[in-house]
Each structure stands twice: as structure tokens, then as C-alpha cells.
Amino acid sequence: MKDRFLRWIVFLVSLSCLRAGLLTFLPAGVVYLSSCQTAEITGRKQFILLSEQDELDMGLEAYRQALGEAKISPNPALQEKVAAVGKKIAEATGHSEYDWKFTVIDDDKTVNAWCLPGGKVAVYTGILKLTEEDDALLATVMGHEVAHATLHHGAERISQELLITLGATGLLIALQNKKQETVEIVLGAFGVGAQLFAVLPFSRTQESEADRVGLIYMAKAGYHPSKALEFWKKMAALSEGGISLEFLSTHPSHETRIEDLLEWQGEAMGYYKKN
């Protein structure tokens, strides 16, 4: 009698464990599967909740905000140089559907550059001082930043944040409605706006992926991929000199980056088209 009773208890406990497990893992699985995408070139699986249109709209809004607060460089030669290199990189991506824009921001203290979804690029005069003697160095910066946009890294980070905030179950309930409308409601409810693209740092994985794909873009655009090593060595020397670089905030260590870039030279050379 006692044995039978114990067996019932074990059965009921395992049943409730199974149910709890399903409640935890099933929504996570469904949410993951329904939002899984594949990054171009690298084939990495990505969890992205935003539709491409959401991403483009938010990118455009973030671009307007950023430029509204910035001082645009009045130097036409600089603007032309950045636009010329940028156009070659843009062509190399094959994303002719993007409305590409290139802007130089007049700020010598900021050693930075970025590209928002849809091909909205900004380069600060602070980083142009490092690249002024060779366009291939500028192409390294542009290739890397543009890769963050074509690989949807911003949308991926926002999706991860939403999952953390809402949890898998909350997201599953939200996604049972129409995806497009739901994501907009979710984004609105959490005050997740365009500025998040600027605030959320990229992950190490994304930084490495942008390095690898950026190298391919610069090679396709006619810039020798070995120039990327020269650029990142310059950046390493600058940061070792005690200058804090926003551009490097979540980037891999200098040694890892240089080793990786060396390893990827062969792959990039397969795309190299001499200018």
C-alpha cells in the first residue's frame, strides 16, 4: 500500500516537472524557431524578432536623431572621400535596395564610425586622422561598420533584449498575434525606440563576424585585405597609449583580432578585385 502511494507521488511529481519543463522550454523553442534567420556569408543562425521594415524604419529614425545632434563636417573634400570609399563598399555588399548615405561628423575627439540599418553611415573626423594617408584603411572601417548593418546585428541585439525583458512565454503570447503588429506593440510598450540601436553594444561574436565579412567587402571593393591588419595595429597602438576608444568598447582583444584577420586573409583574397 505504502509502495503504491509512493509510486503515485513520484508519478505526480514527474508529471508536474515535465509540465513545468514544457512551460519553460516549449515557448522558448517555438519563439526561437519562428524567429530564426541566417546571416549572409557566414551562415550563422540568428534570433531576430523585428521585420526588415521595422529595422529599416528604426534605422532611419536613429539616423535622423544622431545627425540632428551632431555637427556635420563643412569640409567637402572629406565628405567626398568618405562617400567615394563608402560607395565602393556599398556596391560590394550587393545591397542595392538600401538608400545608402555617408556623412562625416566634425568631431576630432571621437575615434568612431557606425552604420545603421539600411546603409546609413557616419564617420567621425577623429577616426579619419588615422586613415588619411590610405583609403584602404578607411575601407577597413567602412567594411566593418557596414557589415554590422547587412548582418542585422542591431535587430539581433534588440531581439535578445526583448526576450530577456518579456521572457519566452510572454513573447510566445505576443507572437501568436500578427508578428508585425505585435513587435510594434512590444517595442512601444517597452519604450524600445530607435535610440536603442545606438545604445546597445554589439557582442563579441558580432564584432568578429563584422571583421570577417568587412574584410570580404573591402577585398571585393578593390582594397587589399592585408590593410585591415595595418589599421587594427594602429588602433591597438592608440588604445595602448591610454586613449579610451568607443570604437573598441566591446571589440575582441587586439591579439585575437589580429590572429583572426590573418586567418581570414585567404578567404578574403578569393574575393579580391584589384582596382
Sites of contact with Zn ion (CB under 5 A): 207, 210
Contact in structure between 151 and 209 (CB atoms under 8 Å): yes
Any catalytic annotation for residue 207?
no
Q: Using the minimum distance from each CB to Zn ion, give the nearer residue, 20 or 243.
A: 243
At its nearest, how many Å lie between Zn ion and the CB of residue 147?
A: 8
Q: Which residue of the set 52, 61, 69, 145 is catalytic?
A: 145
CA distances from 91 to 83, 87, 151 (A): 12, 6, 15
DSSP state of 202: P
Q: Which of 82, 198, 213, 206 is nearest to 146 (CA)?
A: 213
Q: Grid coordinates in use for 251? A: 571589440
Q: Using the minimum distance from each CB to Zn ion, give the nearer residue, 54 or 207.
A: 207
At its nearest, how many Å lie between Zn ion and the CB of residue 145?
A: 7
At its nearest, how many Å lie between Zn ion and the CB of residue 250?
A: 8
Beta bridge pairs of residue 36: 47
At its nearest, how many Å lie between Zn ion and the CB of residue 117?
A: 14
Q: Using the minimum distance from each CB to Zn ion, give the nearer residue, 111 or 210.
A: 210
Contact in structure between 79 and 59 (CB atoms under 8 Å): no
Q: Using the minimum distance from each CB to Zn ion, give the nearer residue, 166 or 210.
A: 210
At its nearest, how many Å lie between Zn ion and the CB of residue 148?
A: 6
- List the end-to-end C-alpha distance of the chain, in Å, as a whole number: 86
Q: Using the minimum distance from each CB to Zn ion, give the nearer residue, 180 or 205.
A: 205
CA pair distance 95, 89, nearest whole angstrom: 10
Contact in structure between 113 and 89 (CB atoms under 8 Å): no
Beta bridge pairs of residue 47: 36
Which residues are designated catalytic?
A: 145
